Amino acid sequence: QRFSADKYQERGVWLAGDWTQTGWPATMEGAIRSGFTAARLVARKFGVDVKLPVGELPRGFLVRCLQSVMNSR
């Protein structure tokens, strides 16, 4: 089961890692995006609007295949 970055935010904990819900398979890309998401949520909690250097990348054929494999486990 994958958790969202803000699952435990009321306890002051934000999750990050390739195993969180990122919309990407468990890859470095997923881990990096997860870290950026957690950082953005922490900053928002303290009233800071942060623009992080990652935009949405197109999900190509390979990523869709990896997602299919990871979701079937």
pLDDT in tens, 26-58: 888 888 888 888 888 888 888 988 876 666 656
Give the dihedral sign, CA 23/21/28/48. positive
Dihedral over alpha carbons 45, 7, 63, 70 (to 10 degrees): 170
Instruction: Please return the burial class of 4, using the count of CB atoms within 10 Å of its CB with bins 0-12, 13-18 and 19+.
Output: middle
Per-residue pLDDT at 13 exceeds 80:
yes
Per-residue pLDDT at 66 exceeds 80:
no
Model pTM greater than 0.85? Answer: no
Percent of the chain exceeding pLDDT 90 equals 0
Between residues 24 and 47, which one has the greater pLDDT? 47
